[in-house]
Chains A and B, each alone.
Chain A
Amino acid sequence: MTNILEESGFDPNRKLRIVGTSPVKPDGRDKVTGRAKFGADLALPGMLVGKVLRSPHPHAIIKFIDTSRAQALPGVMAVVTRDDFPEIPPGTGEGDLTRNVMAREKALYDGHAVAAVAATSESIAKQALKLIRVDYEKLPHVIDAVEAMAPGAPILHEHLRAEGIKGAEDKPTNVVERQEFRMGDVEAGFREADVVIEREFRTCPIHQGYIEPQACVANWTKAGRVELWCCTQAHFGMRDNLASILDIPKEEICITGAEIGGAFGGKTIMYAEPLAIQLSRKAKRPVRIVLNRNEVFRATGPVSGTHSRIKMGVTRSGRFTAAEAEMVYQCGAFTGSMYYNGAQTMFTRYDLKNAKAVAYEVVSNRPKVNAFRAPGVPPVVFGVESVVDELAKAIGMDPLELRLKNAATEGYTTIYGETFGPIGFVETLEAAMKHEHYRAPHSGPNCGRGVAAGFWWNRAGDTSGKLRITADGSVNLLLGTIDIGGSRVSMCMMAAEELGIPLERVSAVIANTDQVSYNRLTAGSRVTFSSGIIVVDCARQAIAELRRRAAAAWNVSEQEVVYEDGTCRLARAGGAAPLSMAELVKRGGPISCSSTLAVTGAGPGFGVHIVDLEVDRETGGVKILRYTVVEDAGKAINRHQVEGQYQSGAAQGVGWALNEEYIYGEDGRLQNPSFLDYRMPVASDLPMIEAVIIEVPNPKHPYGLRGVGEVPVVPTLAAIANAITSAIGVRPYELPMSPPRLLKLIETAGTSKS
C-alpha cells in the first residue's frame, strides 16, 4: 500500500462541500464568551504565585545571591536560584537553554532571570523579591551587533569561537557563526549586468507583540511527575528541553497546551516554565508564573536587528544577472536568530543563476532572540526588494513586470538546493498586476505606492494525531499540533470533507504530550499542511474500517461495499439497508485510528504586496491609505482563516516598518518595555486590508494546500519603504521609519517631490 506522502490523492476536479468555505470555528464560541482557557486562566487548589527577579544590568558577574531574608518571609514557600539547576557546560545547546532561563555565571542582559520565588500571594511574592540580595560585578556591555564584532568589544561568552571564520578559531568572539550559500559565478554575473546597484540596510529588533504574556502552571506531583500547563507553540519540544535541563526523564513530564493568546514564533522556547517546576518541586504545591508586559519585553522574544549589504545586477532588458548579500544578525545573548533562513530565502523567488549570501550571527547584551513569522527573512528581504525597486527605476521598467520577468518557475533549483515543484509565483505576480488596486491611479502630493514580493518555503516534519468515531457516530480529532492560527477548524473541515459528514459532527482537541507521539512545534506554516495530512490519513483508515465492518455484517467482500456521506451501502442495488457510522460503531465498538508520519512535501509560498500611503511632511507620520496582499495558498481550506493570516502579516509588517523598535539607553537598559512606548499598530492606524487568495495547488497535499502564515509578513517592509520612496522621492535604508527618522530623511532630501 502506498502511503499518503507518496500518494496524496489530490484531485483538482474533486467536488468539495466544505473545504474552501468559511464556517465558524469550533473554538470560537468559547472565545467570544470568555470561557476559553488561556495560559493564565488555570487555577489549581493550593496554587502559589511565582515571581521572577531579573537583572537590572546588561552584563555583570553574579558573585553571590543571598535569599535567606526572602526565605524567612512568612508566606514564602520556595526560592530558587542558579543553584537549583543542574550544571550543564556552557557552549552546548542545553547549556545555553539553561543559562537563558536562569543566569549562572553572568547576567547577560537587562531582564535576565536571577532568582524566583513562590508565595501564597502576589504581594508577598513581590515583597520577597525585594529581600533577595544579588551581588553583581558590572562589566562593560555591548548592544549593537556590528560593535560587538569589532576588536576589543566586551565578550559575552569566553567559550565562543567563530565557526566558519578562518583564522579566528582560537580567540573568544561574539560571532556565533558565519554561513555562506552560493550558486553559479557571481563575478561573471555582475560583468553581464548593465546596471549594478549596491546598498546597505539596517533594521531594528522588534517584539512579536502577542497580547498574552507567557504563563504557566507547574505541578510537581507526589508521584514525582511533572504536570505543566502553559501557552506554548512547542509542547513536545519544551518537554524534551525541560527533561534535559532539569535532568528529569521525558516520560515524567506531561505538558498540556493552553489556548494561546498569540505567539507568532515567540512562544517556541521556554522561559519561566523550568522556574515554576523547580519552585513546585521545592514547595510541594502547584506554582503559577504569569509574566508581566515589562518582563515580556525585557526577557522574551525579540526578533533580530540586522545590517545587510545587498548588491544586484540587471540587464537593460530586465534580466537579473547576479545577486550578492552580506548580513549581520544580532541574536541577543544566545544564538537563535535563524540567520541561515534569511541567507537562503532572501533572493529565492527569482530564477537567479549566480548568487551568494553570507550571514553572520552575533551575540550582544540583549535578550535572546526568538522566531517571528518567517524567522530571519523579512529584514533582509527589505533590502533585496528595495534594490529590485531601484533597479526597475534605473532601467525604466514597471517594478512588477521586472519581477515577473525574473520569476522562478517549476524546475528552478534554489541556492539551498531545492528544485521547485509546481509553484505559483508567476500567477501571484500576474494577479497583482491585474488587480484593480495596481491599476488605479495614485496621486496627490506626498502620496506613493510601493510593491514587493516575498517567499517562504513552508515547513512539514514529524506529526502525529488520532481520529475517533464515538458511539453516536460523531468524530473527534486528537491533534498533536498546537493551534495558534485557527488550524483546528481547518482540521475539522478536512475530516468532515473526507468522511462526507456535516462539519457539526466533528470536534477537535489538542493532545497533551502523553496522548500522541512526538510532534514538531507549530511553526513555519507547517500545521494545517502536516496535521491536515494526518487527519486525512486517519479518516481514510476509518473509512476502510467502516467498510470492513459493513462487509462482515453483510457477509460480502469489502469491494462490494461503498462508503458515501457517512454511511456504508452495498454497491449493487437492493439487498441490505445502508449502515450509518453510529450503527457500524455499535458493531465492534468505537473506532480509533492514528497516524504518525515524518511529513514531507510542503509547497513553497509566494506573495506580492501593494501599498498606497501618504507622508505627512510636518510630523513625519505615515498614513496607510490602501493595502492589498496577493498570495498563493495552494488551496484555502478555510478562507476566513487564510485572509486573517494575510491581513495580520501586513499589519505586523506595518508596525515593523514604521514604528516598532527596541530602544536602549547608554546604561544598556531597555527604555521602552511597555505598549505605551513600544508602538504597535492600533485599529485607527490601518485601513481594511484586502486579501487576494491565489490557488496553485500543491499536489503533495490531499487538498492542495501550502502554508500561509509566514509569507504575509515577508514583503511588507520593502513594500512600505518603496511606497515612502515613491511619496517623497528619497529612499529609506533604515527601519523603522518612525516620525523622527522620516523627518530627518525628508530634510536630507531637501525640496519636495515635483
Chain B
Amino acid sequence: MAAKIQVSTTVNGEQRRFQCEPQQTLLDVLRDELALTGTKEGCATGDCGACSVMLDGRLVDACLVLAAEVQGKKVETIEGMAQGEELHPLQRTFLEHNGSQCGICTPGMLMAARALLERNPDPSETEVRYWLAGNLCRCTGYDKIIRSVLAAAKEMRGA
C-alpha cells in the first residue's frame, strides 16, 4: 500500500486537511473523507457531470481530479452555494420551476449553471443547453432545468 499523501486545501472557504491515497480522486475525498456528500457520483469517468465542482474558479468533474492535486487550491461545492439560509438565485429558481426532480443531478447542474452565469450573465436557451450538455439528467427532459437557469439569469441581471 502506497503511503498516504497529506493535503491541505480550502473547501467552501474553510481550511481543510486530509490524507489520501495517490489514486483517490477529489470526488472520493469530498464524499468519504470530508463528508461532503452533496457532490454526486454518476459515472466516475467524466461523462455525467454529477460531480461538478469549482477548482480555483474553474468548473471541473471532481471524479477526474486527483485529490492530491488540490493541495493549496480552492474547492467550491454545492454545500457552499447558499449563504446560510439564503439560497442562491439558481437554487431558488430550481425550486420554483421544479428543475430538480429526483435531485441526483441537481448539485452538478447548479454548480455548472452558476459557472455559466458567472461568465455569461445573459445566455440564450441554446447557450444554456450547450453549456449543460456535460450534465446528464434522466428525469426532467431538461425543459424545467433550462427554464430555471434562464429565470435565475434574468433575476440576477435585475431584469
Q: Is the CB of B139 within 8 A of A644?
A: yes
Q: Is the CB of B40 within 8 A of A261?
A: yes
CB-CB under 8 A for A485 and B101, given A648-B138, A648-B141? yes
Contacts of B96 in A (CB 8 A): 24
Q: How far is the CA of A32 from the CA of B139 in the complex (A)?
A: 15
A306 CB, nearest partner CB in chain B, Å: 22
Q: Is the CB of A652 within 8 A of B138?
A: yes
CB-CB under 8 A for A33 and B128, given A211-B138, A212-B102, A651-B142? no
B33 CB, nearest partner CB in chain A, Å: 11
A76 CB, nearest partner CB in chain B, Å: 13
CB-CB under 8 A for A683 and B28, given A25-B98, A31-B100, A647-B143? no
CB of A440 within 8 A of chain B? no
Contacts of B23 in A (CB 8 A): 123
Q: How far is the CA of A36 from the CA of B78 in the complex (A)?
A: 12
Residues of B33-60 whose CB lies within 8 A of A: 35-45, 47-48, 50
Contacts of B126 in A (CB 8 A): 684
CB of A259 within 8 A of chain B? yes
CB of A22 within 8 A of chain B? yes
* Residue among A41, A121, A293, A644 with most chain B CB within 10 A: A644
Contacts of A264 in B (CB 8 A): 138
Q: Is the CB of A32 within 8 A of B42?
A: no
The contact of A36 among B1, B48, B103, B130, by CB within 8 Å, is: B103
Q: Is the CB of A34 within 8 A of B107?
A: yes
CB-CB under 8 A for A32 and B110, given A683-B132, A683-B135? yes
CB of A641 within 8 A of chain B? yes
Q: Is the CB of B41 within 8 A of A40?
A: yes
Contacts of A376 in B (CB 8 A): none
Contacts of B37 in A (CB 8 A): 34, 37-38, 40-41
CB of A749 within 8 A of chain B? no
B30 CB, nearest partner CB in chain A, Å: 10
Contacts of A302 in B (CB 8 A): none
CB-CB under 8 A for A676 and B38, given A29-B95, A261-B104? no
* Residue among B37, B103, B141, B146 with most chain A CB within 10 A: B141
Residues of B81-111 whose CB lies within 8 A of A: 81-82, 87, 91, 94-98, 100-107, 110
Q: Is the CB of B106 within 8 A of A31?
A: yes
Q: Is the CB of A34 within 8 A of B135?
A: no
CB closest residue in chain A, given B126:
A684
Q: Is the CB of A33 within 8 A of B79?
A: yes
A249 CB, nearest partner CB in chain B, Å: 33
Contacts of A650 in B (CB 8 A): 141
CB-CB under 8 A for A33 and B78, given A213-B42, A688-B146? yes
The contact of A33 among B31, B91, B102, by CB within 8 Å, is: B91
Q: Is the CB of B140 within 8 A of A648?
A: yes
CB closest residue in chain B, given A33:
B82
Q: Is the CB of A28 within 8 A of B95?
A: yes
Identify whether the interface residues of B are mostly helix, strand, loop, or mixed.
Answer: loop
Contacts of A36 in B (CB 8 A): 103
Residues of A10-41 whose CB lies within 8 A of B: 22, 24-25, 27-38, 40-41
Q: How far is the CA of A27 from the CA of B50 in the complex (A)?
A: 19
The contact of B95 among A32, A43, A643, by CB within 8 Å, is: A32
Contacts of B100 in A (CB 8 A): 28, 31-32
B77 CB, nearest partner CB in chain A, Å: 7
Contacts of B102 in A (CB 8 A): 210-212, 259-263, 484-485
Q: Is the CB of B95 within 8 A of A24?
A: yes
B44 CB, nearest partner CB in chain A, Å: 6
CB of A426 within 8 A of chain B? no
Q: Is the CB of A292 within 8 A of B106?
A: no
Q: How far is the CA of A29 from the CA of B42 in the complex (A)?
A: 21
Q: Is the CB of B141 within 8 A of A34?
A: no
Q: How far is the CA of A688 from the CA of B124 in the complex (A)?
A: 13
Contacts of B129 in A (CB 8 A): 683-684, 686
Q: Is the CB of B144 within 8 A of A211?
A: no
Q: Is the CB of A211 within 8 A of B141?
A: no
Residues of A226-277 whose CB lies within 8 A of B: 259-264
B116 CB, nearest partner CB in chain A, Å: 11
Q: Is the CB of A682 within 8 A of B133?
A: yes
Q: Is the CB of B98 within 8 A of A22?
A: yes
A223 CB, nearest partner CB in chain B, Å: 28
Residues of A647-685 whose CB lies within 8 A of B: 647-652, 674-676, 680-685
Q: Is the CB of B48 within 8 A of A32?
A: no
Q: Is the CB of A684 within 8 A of B141?
A: no
Q: How far is the CA of A185 from the CA of B21 in the complex (A)?
A: 71
The contact of A259 among B45, B78, B103, B147, by CB within 8 Å, is: B103
Q: Is the CB of A644 within 8 A of B140?
A: yes
CB of A704 within 8 A of chain B? no
Q: How far is the CA of A523 from the CA of B147 in the complex (A)?
A: 28
Q: How far is the CA of A264 from the CA of B139 in the complex (A)?
A: 9
Q: How far is the CA of A684 from the CA of B91 in the complex (A)?
A: 22
Q: How far is the CA of A120 from the CA of B106 in the complex (A)?
A: 31
Contacts of A532 in B (CB 8 A): none
Q: How far is the CA of A37 from the CA of B102 in the complex (A)?
A: 11
Contacts of A209 in B (CB 8 A): 138
CB of B137 within 8 A of chain A? yes
Q: How far is the CA of A685 from the CA of B137 in the complex (A)?
A: 12
Q: How far is the CA of A318 from the CA of B47 in the complex (A)?
A: 48
Contacts of A548 in B (CB 8 A): none
Contacts of A683 in B (CB 8 A): 128-130, 132-133, 135, 137, 142, 145-146
20 contacts between A and B (CB under 8 A): A31-B100, A32-B95, A34-B37, A34-B78, A38-B37, A40-B31, A41-B37, A43-B32, A209-B138, A211-B50, A293-B42, A485-B102, A641-B98, A644-B144, A648-B101, A651-B141, A651-B142, A674-B45, A675-B45, A683-B133
- 9 nearest A-B residue pairs (beta carbon): A34-B38, A261-B104, A31-B103, A651-B141, A647-B141, A34-B78, A675-B47, A640-B98, A41-B37
**Which B residues are closer than 8 A to A by beta carbons?**
1, 21, 23, 28, 31-32, 35-45, 47-48, 50, 77-79, 81-82, 87, 91, 94-98, 100-107, 110, 125-126, 128-130, 132-147
**Which A residues are closer than 8 A to B by beta carbons?**
22, 24-25, 27-38, 40-41, 43, 121-124, 208-213, 259-264, 290, 292-293, 484-486, 640-641, 643-644, 647-652, 674-676, 680-686, 688-689
**Apart from A33-B81, A486-B101, A682-B142, 6 more pairs, CB < 8 Å:** A43-B35, A649-B141, A674-B45, A682-B133, A683-B133, A683-B135
